[in-house]
Amino acid sequence: MIICKVCGEEINYEVKFCPQCGAAVKSIDDKKHPNKEENNSFSISSDFKKNNQKGKSKKVSHQEKLVRTFSSTKLIYLILFLLMAGGVIIYSSGMFDSQTSITSTQFNDKNNPHAGVDLNNLEQINTYEESLKKNPGDKETLLNLAHLLNDSGLKAKAIERYNDYLKFDPKNADVLVDMGVCYYETGKNDEAISAMEKALKYQPRHQIAHLNLGIVNMTAGNAAKAVGWWKKAVEINPSNEIGKKAEELIKTH
């Protein structure tokens, strides 16, 4: 039951007009749902919040994807940089150098005048040159000069002085081998082989000559000859440093 606002008569919910005064009666639906507009407002507000949250989640998701992509790119570049840096270090260390270092006859000879000479010896070289101008037949000074030029990296000049010395002592196997080293280090493999083989004519068991002939022949592409020379070096003396070096070269070639 509801009360008519005009006459105060009690009337049923279903009646739209008051039977007493004829006034219109408010619908029961309105009574039951007095906050319909508020509910609609609430619904709209909720939808807006949900949509807004969805938009934010989409933005967050997109940002996460960007961060992941950026992180992956940084990781790839970092790996490439480390690989390149490692390659440079390995290359500069000489790991890929194909040329084996050749050995002088002064190997482990602490008493030899040209062993361990400082490379900055221009003044001493000039002193030897001046001395030889006064006394061209001074074989000791001539040999010391040749060795010093060799150690100082002046290979062509050293070859000239070794040849000058060999005019006085043509059968000196050590000098022939040292001159062969200079030829090898200037890229003249044939001349190096010739000089060292000549040394073996005068000193057949010259172990360093055998070792170096193996190295020069390997550089020249004669692998079979190279191994043969190294085997002979090992046969001469397998226990010293030259023999061990020859054995190592056999195993690695």
The pLDDT of residue 194 is: 97
The reply to whether 75 falls in a domain is no
Nearest to 104 by CA among 202, 166, 164, 192: 192
| Domain ranges, residue 144 | 122-252
Cα distances (angstroms) measured from residue 194 to each of 89, 120, 133, 218: 38, 31, 30, 15
The reply to whether 36 falls in a domain is no
The reply to whether 97 falls in a domain is no
Number of other CB atoms surrounding residue 71 within 10 Å: 10
The reply to whether 240 falls in a domain is yes
The contacts of residue 4 (CB under 8 Å, 6+ apart) are 10, 11, 18, 20, 21, 23, 25
- Domain total of the chain: 1
Q: What is the mean pLDDT of each run of 10 residues along the chain (253 residues)?
A: 73 70 58 43 44 50 52 72 68 49 57 47 92 95 96 94 97 97 96 98 97 97 97 97 97 93
The pLDDT of residue 245 is: 97
**Are 21 and 3 contacting, i.e. CB atoms less than 8 angstroms apart?**
no
The reply to whether 197 falls in a domain is yes
Q: Long-range pairs for 203-210 at CB < 8 Å and ≥24 separation? A: 203/173, 205/236, 206/173, 206/177, 207/233, 207/236, 207/237, 207/240, 207/242, 207/243, 208/103, 208/104, 208/105, 208/107, 208/177, 208/242, 209/173, 209/177, 209/180, 210/236, 210/246
Distance CA 14, CA 28 (A): 7
The reply to whether 131 falls in a domain is yes
Taking only Cα atoms into account, the Rg of the chain, rounded to an integer number of angstroms, comes to 50
The pLDDT of residue 107 is: 44
The pLDDT of residue 109 is: 43
The pLDDT of residue 103 is: 74
The reply to whether 198 falls in a domain is yes
The reply to whether 175 falls in a domain is yes
Torsion, CA 128, CA 131, CA 137, CA 138, rounded to 10: -60
Whole-structure pTM value: 0.57
The contacts of residue 110 (CB under 8 Å, 6+ apart) are 116
The pLDDT of residue 251 is: 95
